[in-house]
Amino acid sequence: MAEFPDTRISLIIRLGEASDVQAWQEFAEIYAPALLGLARRRGLQPADAEDVTQEILFGVARAVQRFQPDQNRAMFRTWLSRIAHNLIHDFCEGRRRRPAAHAISDSWLEKATQAGESASHDDFDEELRASILRLAAKRVQERVAPKTWNAFEQTAIQNRTAEWVSQEFGMTVGSVYVARCRVMSMLRNDVQQLLADCQVTPADSNAEEGLQ
């Protein structure tokens, strides 16, 4: 049950090596929902949001080899965030409705990274946090016993009482509490790892050590 296989190597550096399938998967799993969420937040219709997300990721996937990750990973996030803001803005203005295949013209990246009106990265960070949380949840769920996950899901997400879960699934109330807290603890660890990889500031940096 290795907690974190090789997340120490920066995701973005690994993306540059096309052979690193795992890195690509992680990249897509984190950024696709985040970009989609951002586009929806800006008022795009579902189909448009999907189009623009696809265009951004398709273009970035092809351009990432050209991105120099020598400074730091936060730059990648800023870079991507700017591309997202510009393209979503363009889309909102109705300036173009084009298939993702456009993301492959040479001038795409140049246009997409032009400094537009100053955009805050806050809402992109929020979306990133949310998609990282989902990814972490997915991973933790794969690592723990179904019963353990269930205790967590029912109490922490579905708002059921520990007593209800204990009766419904034949667990002691104490084991429901232990299971739910154990999953939460793992989840927090995973999220912090992924956030560090993407250089997003955690919402509450004091949460690091919990209340002790």
Partner 1 sequence: MILPLSKTKSNCPSPEELSLCLRATAVVDDVVQQHIGDCQTCQATLQAIAADATWWDEVETTLYTAPDPAAERIAHSICALSGYQNADPADQELTAHELSQLRTHLQPPSHPELLGRIGRYELEQLVGRGGMGLVFRGHDTDLHRVVAIKTIASHLNPRGAARERFVREARASASLTHPHIVAVYDVITDSQLPAIVMQYIPGQTLEQWLKEQGPMPWPTVLQLGIQLADALNAAHESGLIHRDIKPGNVMLEAGCLRALIADFGLVRALDEASLTHTGALAGTPDFMSPEQARGQVLDQRSDLFSLGAVLYTMLTGCPPFHAPQPMAVLNRICHQRHQSVAVVCSDVPMQVSRVVDKLLQKQPRKRYASAAEVRDMLQQLSRSSIHLQTRRPMQLYKFVGLAAAVLAVALLYPFASMLGQSLGIPSGQSNSGYSLPGESGPPDPAARLLRTQRIADRFVDLDRLSQQLQGIEVAVTELEHAPAIAAAELADRGSVQYSISSELQWLQSEVSRLEMEFNQ
CA gap 120, 136 in Å, rounded: 26
Min. distance of Cβ 139 from partner 1 in angstroms? Answer: 12
Residue 119 or 135 having the CB closest to partner 1 = 135
CA gap 87, 136 in Å, rounded: 28
Min. distance of Cβ 133 from partner 1 in angstroms? Answer: 5
Residue 72 or 174 having the CB closest to partner 1 = 174
Residue 133 or 196 having the CB closest to partner 1 = 133
Name the helix (H) or strand (E) containing 176.
helix 173-198
Min. distance of Cβ 171 from partner 1 in angstroms? Answer: 10
- CB of 128 closer than 8 Å to CB of 34: yes
Residue 9 or 104 having the CB closest to partner 1 = 104
Residue 33 or 86 having the CB closest to partner 1 = 33
Residue at token pair 């997340």: 7
- CB of 24 closer than 8 Å to CB of 15: yes
Q: Maximum distance among all alpha carbons in the chain?
A: 62
CA angle 185, 204, 212 (to 5 degrees): 55
Residue 66 or 71 having the CB closest to partner 1 = 66
> Which are the contacts of 101, defined by CB distance < 8 A and separation ≥ 6?
none
**Cα–Cα nearest to 192, from 132, 131, 125:** 132
Min. distance of Cβ 176 from partner 1 in angstroms? Answer: 8
Residue at token pair 């990282």: 132
Min. distance of Cβ 46 from partner 1 in angstroms? Answer: 7
Min. distance of Cβ 89 from partner 1 in angstroms? Answer: 20
